[in-house]
Structure 1
Amino acid sequence: MHAVILAGGKGVRLRPYTTALPKPLVPIGDQHAILEIVLRQLAAAGFTSCTVAIGHLGHIIRAYVGDGSQWGLRIDYAAEDNPLGTMGPLLPMLGRLPEHFLVMNGDILTDLDYGDVLHRHAASGAPLTVATYARKVAIDFGVLTTESGRIVSFAEKPNLDYRVSMGVYGLSRATLAGYTPGLPLGFDELVLDLLGAQTPPHAYEFSGYWLDIGRPDDYDRANAEFTTHRGVLLKGA
């Protein structure tokens, strides 16, 4: 069981915390970096090896993580000189990846069972499996629907329900075989290509704890909630 952790971004939205630290290494609670929590979870879920895709401040991640032996993992690295999007960093390393593998962002806190995502992806035959989460978006305005200059419906401050990507994917090597290494490839482009080819991705629906640490507010919330969720996040780790 192999995972690829995407840890090459600059974390611009999380500044000033990421001015001197790569985002996956910002501390949560009083002991752990986000990336350490993720690595502990992967090891507990049965993963034995991991590739960390690095870019911005990647040398700091290398120094912190090392070869992964402290967590019982074999860790190697893939460096990108220029931003390649979510899926682009996978293309140059494709030859050394197993047939099915997990891909995930290195800056999320969740009690998702990573092993189950990978197992269900491999069993599904789907080209891509996306872990999804239900989100409600509150609209602070009265929303109008118009046709030919007339208002035909109205809703006062509605809540919109969406399923969003959690930043965790089950992926198969063959899915990326037709793309060119070294060129950017985003998650959005890949999904649209699969839909256009009538080979839709599968959804892995999840309803547990999930927090994407993208902004200072998210980071503050993660630290405020970590003590409460520590047992769940580090269960078995």
Structure 2
Amino acid sequence: MKAVILAGGMGTRMRPLTYTTTKPMIPFLNKPVIDHIVTKLARQGFKEVILTTNYMPEVIEEYFGDGEKWGVEFKTVMEDEPLGTAGSVRNALHHLDETFAVIQGDNISEIDIAKLYKDHKKMGGLLTICLMEVKDVSLFGIAEMRDDEITAYKEKPEPEEVFSNLANTGIYIIEPEVLDMIPLSFYDFSKNLFPKMLKERKKICGSVTHSFWRDVGTPRDYMEATQYFLKGNNLLAPGAAVDGKVHKSVLGRDSRVSGELDSSVLFERVVVEKGAVVEESLIGSGTVVKKGAQIGPSCVIGDNVIIEEGAIVLSNSRIGPNITVGSHNKVGGLLVPDEFKDI
């Protein structure tokens, strides 16, 4: 079985972390998001994984190599310009000569994609969308079904347009002939392909999952998914050390906490000194939070930031890489170094 992972885009919603890496390579529970996806695909019997991207492909290629360590054949297909979700898959046409899965590169889930593949074959459609019941459909595409077949689809509906609570998870099983319906240009699954297929009465099926699924492409969703898997515990990578207070948090490799850490995530080599407090925040690699400093809640701090003694980073702030917040200063909002302002 083959799977395509969509990793295009610059991950702007996860800045400042994505100034220095690509979104699928952001650590989640101490290994890159995309590592979780590839590992799960391999365990479920997928043998070939194709990554489509247009941003920092070398970071992912260096990490995975040929995929042998994961038991898969790993390939990268580069877009010269953004092609949209469907367009990027069409761009990988030369690798897709059989039924294949499509997964978004910022999804963390417990969905059995191999089972979805089998269900797709039984239902006999050209394309199957994995659906999930949600309370707020405003941020999703929604589908209406008759038996197993999708009869209507609407992307991010207005309140008066809502006809279903079944949301698109961005996980698909697709027959290769569908690629012939996608032009060699920017083309989106939800906005372009699904409406086209329904209009032409091409069979799209739906499969409803009740497993955990989350798009971790925003800090809020990333943190909520982290807490789901922590289940009230802490997770410490090798070399991490604690001689302070840590609650419901993740510590990356060689991080050290002598202060207080609550419901937060530290990447590699982060130091939180005695008397410092970090609350419900995401802290990039190599950052130092000095004595008596305070961060959060709901902050995102980039790599190699220094929060000097007694400084305060107000809630909902984002601080870009390599910035120093001076001793006893109080900062808020967005702080970005000049070299990243035009990205």
TM-score by length of 1: 0.82
Alignment of 1:103-182 (within 5 A): 103-137=102-136, 162-181=165-184
What's 2:201 paired with?
198
CA distance in 2, matches of 1:109, 1:178: 29
CA 1:161–1:36 in 2, change beyond 3 Å: closer, same or farther?
same
Shift of 1:229: 10
Which residue of structure 1 aligns with residue 301 of structure 2?
none
Bigger proportion of residues as helix: 1
Q: Which moved more, 1:84-93 or 1:118-127?
A: 118-127
- Count of residues in Structure 1 that have an aligned counterpart in Structure 2: 209
Q: Which amino acid in structure 2 is aligned with residue 187 of structure 1? A: F
| Partner residue of 1:185 out of 184, 187, 195 | 187
Q: 1:138 to 1:2 in 2, by over 3 A?
A: closer
Give the alignment's TM-score, normalised by structure 2. Answer: 0.58
Greater Rg by CA:
2
Residue type at the aligned position of 1:24: P
Letter in 1 for 2:17: Y
Q: Give the distance between the partners of 1:227 and 1:178, measured in 2 at CA.
A: 43
CA distance in 2, matches of 1:179, 1:33: 31
Cα distance in 2 between the residues matched to 1:114 and 1:133 = 14
Which secondary structure does the structure 1 equivalent of 2:208 belong to? strand
Q: How does 1:72-111 map to 2 (within 5 A)?
A: 72-111=71-110
Gaps of 5+ in 2: 139-162, 234-343
- What is the DSSP-based 3-state SS (H/G/I as helix, E as strand, rest coil) of the residue aligned with 1:123? helix
Cα distance, 1:79–1:225 mapped onto 2, change above 3 Å: same
Q: Distance in 2 between matches of 1:41 and 1:68?
A: 13
- In 1, distance between residues paired with 2:5 and 2:130? 15
Distance in 1 (CA, whole Å) between partners of 2:3 and 2:17 is 26
User: Taking every aligned residue pair, what percent have the same amino acid on both sides?
Assistant: 29
Q: Which has the higher contact order (CA 8 A, sep 6+)?
A: 1
Inter-partner Cα distance in structure 1 for 2:7 and 2:196: 24
- The equivalent residue for 1:64 is 63
Deviations 1:194-225 (A, max 9, x none): 11011241111001111111211111222222
Aligned to 2:340: none
Q: Secondary structure at the match of 1:136?
A: coil
Measured after TM superposition, the shift of residue 92 of structure 1 is: 2.8
* Amino acid in the other structure paired with 2:121: A
For residue 85 of structure 1, report the CA deviation from its aligned partner.
0.6
